[in-house]
A and B are shown apart, each in its own frame.
Chain A
Amino acid sequence: MRRLVPYLDTFGAVALAIIWIAPLFFAFWAAFHSTSDAVNFNLFSPWTLDNFRTAWEGAPWLRYFLNTFLLVTVVLIGQFILTTLAGFAFAQVKFPGRDIVFILVLLQLFILPEVLIVENYAMVSRLGLFDTIVGVGMPYMASAFGIFLMRQSFKSVPIELHEAARVEGCSLFGILMRVYVPLAKPTYLAYALVSVSTHWNNFLWPLIVTNSPDTRPLTVGLSIFGAPENGVDISVISAATIMSIAPLLIAFLVFQRQFVQAFLRAGIK
């Protein structure tokens, strides 16, 4: 009995793994077969690229890719700047009211931007940022999670380095840029990966504030492509889906180790 346990383990683990990737696998398979073959599971039917051709012609995917790319870049740059400054203030600058403000920031972890869609939509419109990529990214730039992460990272920097830089005549901002930021590199990397994969996949908010193919990110484009008035074609939808997840998926498979490490770092510190 005891000798059997490892086998059971392996069996369970692999079975679960197969179940877990089955949806992806089937979509992949369907994307390369004609709709009729796909829904009838003709396992030995010929492979085809037609679905990709149809899907590619059906929407401005390049534009969507570019929009998503611009979006995650804008968000990331904004987050880096804002969370670095704020994280540093919370970690190394003493000023009255700091702790209360920090609690307010933590509170924002729970005021999800997703829930405030109505007012945030009104706000973005008021600022003239409706249907712009900056408008899509703006509510996420001052990320409480990022501020928190940076604060933790800056706190672990030895105070001696700070003092040494100060003695050499660096300003506070100079110290931040020369001492703290370089030492927090792994945190930046981790945060970047989490941020990019979050915003690459974000849907509800971009759905609300984008209005044209010129700003629409991939997720919104995919949802519109997948819902024409009169019916869907499973193989074409699968092809579009595979196409739109491919970049992130391939990046993930190649950099798997770093990816997982990054998530670990960002999640638990």
Chain B
Amino acid sequence: MSKHASLERRRQAIYGWLLLGPAGVLLTTFAFYPSIATLWSSLFSRGTRRKPAEFVGGENYTDLFADPTFWLVVKNNLIYAAATIPISIIIALAMALWANSKIPAKGFVRTAYFTPTVLPMIAAANLWLFFYTPGLGVLDQIGSLFGLPSVNWLGQPETALWAVIIVTIWKEAGFFMIFYLAALQTIPADLKEAADIEGASRWTYTRRIVLPLLMPTTLFIMVNAMINSVKLIDHLFILTKGGPSDASKLILYYIWEMAFAFFDAPHAAAMTILVLLVLGIIAAIQFLLIDKRTHYQ
């Protein structure tokens, strides 16, 4: 009997690894191996006709730390994250509360909020380009109705990053709304009735009951928003290309530029490793902070 059991265990093990095999191979090929290869290549210099590549240790990293553009890009990305994460979460929450309340035109409202989510970022950028163009764009035309001067939204360092941020918020708020909407629908109706009987105001009900119940969802959304603040850069290709004078350049765009426009793979690799480190920290936060039962069971 025990022999049978051990045979069965071994069979299960073989089955298990066989089933995992294909996914394992691809994950290794396109995630684990490249991560290690990136680390490795970040330790070498770039080879050119005159100078072949050689091992330089941490030199690529010290180059980066000495590069003012790198720090500007880091700062931009921090502003980008610090703005897009809370603002899109707050807007998403407001959207969800509205879309879940008893208002007329609810269907239209919901659709309108969610529509940007199904558009490619590139298309979204094209739509917004029409908004931002100085003189000809929608924003300027509206502004001129009120006698405001023409503003070069994408062409000034003070506004370019914010113009990019607004497009990101526009794109992701509707997506986050869905998660809130789902969570709201799981709140039992009798809680609302009980609150009404107690004579609690709507605001009190929202603040004391709804928001705490939405907390796990908020954390989940927050992690998603953090990842997006690294990942969502497609619109830069259309709107600003990181300009003017790098004022709207974000890290992933800089990595792309370094690797594919300047052909400087080692420095791009060093930057990639730094980004992976940050993502690792976010991952750790997610695993430690977020209630596993809510999202992983």
Interface presence of B202 (CB below 8 A): yes
* Also in contact, A85 and B113, with CB within 8 A (given A5-B202, A268-B179): no
Segment at the B interface, from A44-52, A113-121, A157-165? A113-121
Q: CA–CA, A207 to B16, complex, Å? A: 36
Could you tell me which residues of chain B, from 269 to 287, have a CB within 8 Å of some CB in chain A?
A: 269, 272, 275-276, 279-280, 282-283, 287
Report whether B122 and A219 are in contact in the complex, using a CB–CB cutoff of 8 Å. Answer: yes
* Also in contact, A105 and B238, with CB within 8 A (given A5-B202, A119-B38): no
Most chain A CB inside 10 Å of its own CB: which residue of B104, B126, B265:
B126
Interface presence of B136 (CB below 8 A): yes
A219 neighbours in B (Cβ, 8 Å): 120-123, 234
Q: CA–CA, A226 to B175, complex, Å? A: 26
Interface presence of B115 (CB below 8 A): yes
Report whether A89 and B255 are in contact in the complex, using a CB–CB cutoff of 8 Å. Answer: no
Identify A241's interface contact among B38, B127, B230, CB under 8 A: B127
* Total number of A residues with any Cβ neighbor in B under 8 Å: 96
A18 neighbours in B (Cβ, 8 Å): 112
> What's the minimum C-beta distance from A64 to chain B, rounded to whole angstroms?
12
> What's the minimum C-beta distance from A161 to chain B, rounded to whole angstroms?
18
Report whether A17 and B109 are in contact in the complex, using a CB–CB cutoff of 8 Å. Answer: yes
> What's the minimum C-beta distance from B268 to chain A, rounded to whole angstroms?
5
Q: CA–CA, A89 to B265, complex, Å? A: 38
* Also in contact, A30 and B130, with CB within 8 A (given A144-B27, A245-B120): yes
Question: What are 28 A-B residue pairs whose CB atoms fall within 8 Å in the complex?
Answer: A10-B104, A13-B98, A13-B109, A20-B113, A21-B112, A23-B130, A26-B127, A82-B22, A82-B26, A85-B22, A94-B9, A96-B13, A106-B287, A113-B30, A117-B260, A118-B41, A120-B30, A139-B31, A142-B30, A197-B118, A202-B120, A208-B256, A218-B120, A223-B237, A237-B130, A241-B123, A256-B111, A268-B182
Please give the residue numbers on chain A whose beta carbons come within 8 Å of chain B beta carbons, in ascending order: 5-6, 9-10, 12-14, 16-18, 20-24, 26-27, 30, 39, 41, 81-83, 85-86, 88-90, 93-96, 98, 101, 104-123, 138-139, 141-142, 144, 147, 152, 172, 197, 200-204, 207-208, 218-219, 222-223, 226-227, 232, 234, 237-238, 240-241, 244-245, 248-249, 252-253, 256, 259-260, 263-264, 267-269
The 10 A-B pairs with the shortest beta carbon distances in the complex, nearest first, are A95-B16, A119-B34, A17-B112, A142-B26, A89-B19, A13-B98, A201-B120, A139-B30, A95-B13, A86-B23
